[in-house]
Structure 1
């Protein structure tokens, strides 16, 4: 009887062994990577907060660009940031902090939303604004005329300080080619961006015109414009979890309105504290949260009845906020306090402040969670 020879796998060659070890280590590191929050600081860059430790672990050094609006790609690998001083959209590798792409946008880019493979960036075009299809590197030396100091809260409430300026626009950037494929003319001082439940329509709030404009999300073709209360200065906008209504904050009237998602008629008007901007539903959809920036408060309302539930003291000029991915905490970016305020998402009690974030503007998390910029 012939005895079978046992065969053992050949040992890996040194190069293959090194690659295998690196892949295994990379997988282990990826699995162990903590959830993070990303905070734009207009002076320092983009702060990265480890959400397990609730501490600022690093800052991506793009502060000279004047970063404001931000949004993550669907896989979380790239953070897209609108830069006031350089007039562009920068794509930052979240693993390394390196800027890997820049797309010329135009004057005063501010708000960013990522949707179905495209980035939607609001801006106020000047003579250097891009034609449709333009891309490329920014003119880093171009001065930014910008708006009046919106952080100081000055100016006449409800006045359109850009009435004689060109209307704002929304640049639609293809994230495969990194080119602006459409530039959509909107109203004056476009602020928040939201999408319909089926994803086919884009809604934007126009602060200077007291309107909400609706467009085809893919082409930017206009559908309708809805006039809201005069002098209200609409800013934040969010679709309800069930898709039945939109809620819109009116900063100068200190209210938010509830709009029927079908015909955009006002169903209800609710009083808030002073200067509401960011607005979002909680992860379970039972509560509605509003950042009343001028009263230094985060307000909580019942999401169905709109009855007032609680007021939570926060810092100065708090525009945007986000829940943590597990829904247990709220992170509020407070620009004039140069910090992120951390709150218990159920009791609304303050837990800590994370500083060293001068002129904090916006905040998003990975994994994605609900907030005033991104709706999960």
Structure 2
């Protein structure tokens, strides 16, 4: 399922040339203090400058954006919704090979309990209304609800091939990323009753993020090196493109604070694709490190953390400077994968996919604060609760 070799096509070589090849090589061997190579790579794939968004009619029913210059303006420390203020702070870790969810107290770094769930849990996903955590049991074909107020799991709901789960910005639908079924399945967000299944022209739909107005979303297809653009209201694919690197394997998708640029991590291109979502033109590659996988914006919308799963590092991208500024290496190695930022913004939590552990990392210094043993194959962990008015899904994309 995972490509073992990558090669540039003739078109890609013409596009990126020898500069990109040298950058890719440089990122793989950089040390903890080596930021120069990465900064050059970012300038090669420059994103649009941060400017104020023009007024656009939003998706009907979507809560208005608080600040058109920053779609994450509702995600500041302490800005918890009244819905979640009474919830205990926890880290929920789905262990894909153990069929369990490990629950961690982030204050003590201790495991509180382990919850049995379905077969191959991939992600723990906060619901749009913030009241439920849904465990995506991919091969068990179920979603297990967890009450974040009590930590108690409820009765599983049958949903086929739920690799990942998102919610439309107006809360009207849940969207299952049915990776092997090659579908986007739109469901009732509470009962998970199927409303519409949209076939997709690619393999391995897995991650997504929405435009500032909520009218479309960009989807990554990891097994066919493609990106899709989907009309939210019509629930139809309106754009498709092949990534310009043979063997590419796109993963997490994240929108820039100014709403103009989509970033797509790629674990085989060892970097992040920089995409103009409106024009949906061919993206450029920003090398970060081996096995780039997860993307997480900090609490003041100034930086984005990029987990490089294949080399045990985290790259830090500065939105204002439009470049990579830091690279942190986990002591004793590791496989940093998916996760989220703590409510106060001080800690980045990431699962260690191949090491049966979870990492707590200081977001200011990159220091490893804790390394916690969990089950086998930890994947899309959720830090909960977090600031924000509603959830778009995945491990916690809040606006």
Query: Shorter-chain TM-score: which interval?
Result: 0.7 to 0.9
Q: Of residues 155, 175, 181 in structure 1, which corresponds to 2:189?
A: 175
Pair 338,263 (structure 1): closer, same or farther in 2 beyond 3 Å: same
Q: Return the alpha-carbon distance in structure 1 between the equivalents of residues 146 and 394 of structure 2.
A: 21
TM-score by length of 2: 0.70
Any stretches of 5+ residues in structure 1 without a counterpart? 1-29, 127-167
Q: Tell whether 2:102 aligns with 1:80.
A: no
Q: 1:65 Cα deviation (Å)?
A: 2.0
Residue 182 of structure 1, CA deviation = 1.5
Alignment partner of 2:362 out of 335, 344, 351: 344
Question: Could you say which structure has the larger radius of gyration?
Answer: 1
Give, in whole Å, the separation in 2 of the partners of 1:104 and 1:74: 18
What are the residue-to-residue correspondences of 1:38-49 with 2, within 5 Å?
38-42=92-96, 43-49=98-104
Partner of 2:27: none
Structure with greater proportional strand content:
1
**Deviations for 1:237-288, whole angstroms, at most 9, x for unmatched residues?**
1111110100112221212121113212346421121111111222212112
TM-score w.r.t. the length of structure 1 is 0.74
Aligned to 1:280: 296
Kindly indicate whether the alpha-carbon contact (under 8 Å) linking 1:41 and 1:359 is maintained by their aligned counterparts in 2: yes
Which deviates the most, 72-81 or 249-258?
A: 72-81
Q: Tell me, yes or no, if the aligned pair for 1:118 and 1:172 is still in contact at 8 Å.
A: yes
Q: Choose which of 47, 51, 71 in structure 1 pairs with 2:106.
A: 51
Query: What pairs up with 1:1-376 in 2 under 5 angstroms?
Result: 33-42=87-96, 43-62=98-117, 64-94=118-148, 95-106=150-161, 109-115=162-168, 116-125=171-180, 168-186=182-200, 187-229=202-244, 230-266=246-282, 268-314=284-330, 315-368=333-386, 373-376=395-398
Contact persistence 1:112–1:121 (CA under 8 A): yes
Change (3 A) 1:317 1:218: farther
Q: Which residue does the alignment assign to 1:144?
A: none
Task: Tell me the CA shift for residue 83 of structure 1.
Answer: 0.8
Q: Secondary structure at the match of 2:314?
A: strand
User: 8 Å contact 1:324–1:369 — kept in the other structure?
Assistant: no
**Alpha-carbon deviation of 1:298?**
1.3
Asked if the contact 1:297/1:311 (under 8 Å) is kept, the reply is yes
Give the 3-state SS of the residue equivalent to 2:327 in structure 1. Answer: strand
Cα offsets for 1:93-134 (capped at 9, x unmatched)? 33252223403214xx312223314322212456xxxxxxxx
User: Which blocks of at least 5 consecutive residues in structure 2 are unaligned?
Assistant: 1-83
CA contact (8 A) 1:111 1:193 kept: no
Distance in structure 1 (CA, Å) of the matches to 2:296 and 2:282: 18
Cα deviation per residue 1:325-362 (whole Å; 9 max; x = unaligned)? 11011101112111110011111111111212321111
* Segment of structure 1 superposing worse, 212-221 or 307-316: 307-316
Provide the aligned length of Structure 1 versus Structure 2: 303
Q: Give me the whole-angstrom Cα distance separating, in 2, the residues matched to 1:267 and 1:356.
A: 37
Q: Report the counterpart of residue 46 of structure 2 in structure 1.
A: none
Query: Displacement of 1:303 after TM fit?
Result: 2.0
The offset of 1:193, in angstroms, is 1.6
Tell which deviates more after alignment, 359-368 or 169-178. Answer: 169-178
Structure 1 residue 31 displacement after superposition: 6.5
- Larger RCO: 1 or 2 (CA < 8 Å, sep 6+): 2
1:316–1:372 Cα change, 3 Å: farther
Deviation at 1:364, TM superposition (A): 1.5
The alignment yields a C-alpha RMSD, in angstroms, of 2.3
